[in-house]
Amino acid sequence: MTEKDSAGETLTERQFMQLFVQHEPVLRVVARSMLTDWMAVDDVLQEAGVTMWEKIDQLENVDGFLPWARVIVRLKCHSAINSARRRRLVLSEEAIKLLAVEIDSIDRERYETNLTALQGCLQKLSPQQRELVLAAYRDGVEVQDIAARIGKSANALYKQLGRLRGKLSDCVELTVKTGAPGGGLAR
């Protein structure tokens, strides 16, 4: 199975894989913005990759790969969300649509810049603060469980996490704006 690229030449499986790998970080951001489970993100990207290859004849040219791939990833995310919804509570359709619209504005360079800044800012937190923030994003971990483990109320922990997220957000913004690693995160 092959497709024509923008020059009218046949798109091979190898060329398809190169395009997929090139755009995978952006596709991962799209999936992560819609899904709360890291494993589900990996599963969706695998399923989307298979679907893209199966439907490669629908791709009009190489230049349209990323928008086409984003649509497929979003559809796979919606399918995963519907499956998860049958098992437990997930984000509302409206929230998912808003996130999807927002994520369209993020390009790969901005994503990588922000990720690098976030990693630097996380390192500026105390080890306890960093562990607390990271624990809140681990799969299957509820804030209530973390709160019980550290002897705080869930409400107090939500407030502390909100303050830490605010610090990280300010730090990332300053880091991106100034180009200084780790911004000006005050402990």
CATH code (residue 172): 1.10.10
Residues 118 and 35 in one domain: no
Element (H, E) at 3: strand 3-4
Classify 50 as helix, strand or coil. helix
Residue-level pLDDT at 184: 56
Range of the domain at 68: 3-104
Residues 59 and 76 in one domain: yes
- Number of domains forming the structure of the chain: 2
pLDDT for the residue numbered 151:
92
- Distance separating alpha carbons of residues 60 and 6, to the nearest angstrom: 8
What pLDDT was estimated at residue 54?
A: 92
**For residue 186, is it within any domain?**
no
Can you give the pLDDT at residue 183?
55
Which residue(s) pair with 81 in the sheet?
Answer: none
Residue 187: inside a domain: no
Residue 84, pLDDT score: 74
- Single residue among 83, 104, 125 that ends a domain in this structure: 104
Instruction: Write out 105-162 in H/E/C secondary structure.
Output: CCCHHHHHHHHHHHHHHHHHCCHHHHHHHHHHCCCCCCHHHHHHHHCCCHHHHHHHHH
pLDDT in 10s for each residue of the chain, 187 residues: 444 444 445 578 888 899 999 999 999 999 998 888 888 899 999 999 999 999 988 888 888 899 999 999 999 999 998 887 776 655 677 777 777 777 766 666 677 888 889 989 999 999 999 998 888 877 677 888 889 989 999 899 989 999 999 999 999 999 998 877 655 555 4
Question: What integer pLDDT is reported at residue 187 of this predicted model?
Answer: 47
Query: What pLDDT does 7 receive?
Result: 46
Q: What is the pTM of this model?
A: 0.46
